[in-house]
């Protein structure tokens, strides 16, 4: 059985997602987090680049390790969610923390990740699972998150690359999109979905809510 997946993202009027240069007129992050809480996920999942924003300090890699099995490893404290999940196919993340925003971290890896990286994750108390040999098999990852971590409702929270991969894999059941009233003026081109497939995917509009600061909250479901 698969988890129900809700994409939750904040974009500009032109669908851009990099927030760093947006006007600081109001605290749009707290609005985003408030809706995140109301969506009641058992966990949230992000791409490697987005999760890297939560790294603490400098990388502390382990130089050597005995061979470790390519099997799910659950940190002792990680029996209950909600979980903060990162997709990191080749083991580039060095979070140095076992929780992000209070949620226990789980990393989705491929079997190609070096043993030393698995040893680093175990040392840091970070749970991990495997989905795929060198490329991440997203349906397998989602199925394991459900079966092994009890994640029945998963919030997909960016960035554009991982959102696009989930959409291409047909895994998005709902969209929760907050649109801020800015047209992005930067050279940045990151958008809500960076897709490999070139066929359009249609969603059905469910609700439209006007929030403070002229933000619009759109809810869609899979058609």
Where on the chain is the footprint of ligand NAP (CB under 6 A)? 9-10, 17-19, 46-50, 53, 87, 89-90, 92, 136, 157-162, 165, 190, 194
Which CB atom, from 80 or from 186, has the smaller least distance to ligand NAP? Answer: 186
Nearest to 192 by CA among 214, 174, 177, 213: 177
Residue 101 CB, nearest distance to ligand NAP (Å)?
Answer: 13
Residue 212 CB, nearest distance to ligand NAP (Å)?
Answer: 17
CB 28 within 8 A of CB 215: yes
Which CB atom, from 35 or from 80, has the smaller least distance to ligand NAP? Answer: 35
Which CB atom, from 104 or from 131, has the smaller least distance to ligand NAP? Answer: 131
Phi/psi at 16 (5° precision): -85, 155
Which CB atom, from 79 or from 112, has the smaller least distance to ligand NAP? Answer: 112
CB 129 within 8 A of CB 72: yes
Q: What Rg value do the Cα atoms of the chain yield, rounded?
A: 18
Residue, CB closest to ligand NAP:
159
Residue 84 CB, nearest distance to ligand NAP (Å)?
Answer: 13
Residue linked to tokens 């989930």: 166
Residue 25 CB, nearest distance to ligand NAP (Å)?
Answer: 16
- The DSSP line for 117-134 is HHHHHHHTT-EEEE-SSS
């Amino acid at each position: 059985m698969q988890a129900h997946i809700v994409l939750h993202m904040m974009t500009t009027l032109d669908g851009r997602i990099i927030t760093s240069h947006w006007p600081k007129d109001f605290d749009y992050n707290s609005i985003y987090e408030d809706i995140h809480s109301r969506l009641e996920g058992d966990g949230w999942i992000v791409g490697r680049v987005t999760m890297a924003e939560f790294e603490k300090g400098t990388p502390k890699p382990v130089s050597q390790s005995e061979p470790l099995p390519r099997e799910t490893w659950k940190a002792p404290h990680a029996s209950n969610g909600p979980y903060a999940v990162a997709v990191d196919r080749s083991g580039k993340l060095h979070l140095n923390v076992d929780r992000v925003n209070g949620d226990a971290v789980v990393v989705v890896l491929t079997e190609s990740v070096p043993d030393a990286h698995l040893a680093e994750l175990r040392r840091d108390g970070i749970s991990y699972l495997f989905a795929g040999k060198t490329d991440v098999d997203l349906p397998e990852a989602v199925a394991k998150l459900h079966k092994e971590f009890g994640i029945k409702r998963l919030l997909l929270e960016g960035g554009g690359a991982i959102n696009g991969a989930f959409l291409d894999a047909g895994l998005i059941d709902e969209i929760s999109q907050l649109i801020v009233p800015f047209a992005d003026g930067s050279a940045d081109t990151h958008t809500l979905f960076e897709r490999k497939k070139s066929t359009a995917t249609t969603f059905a509009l469910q609700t439209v809510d006007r929030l403070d600061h002229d933000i619009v909250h759109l809810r869609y479901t899979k058609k």
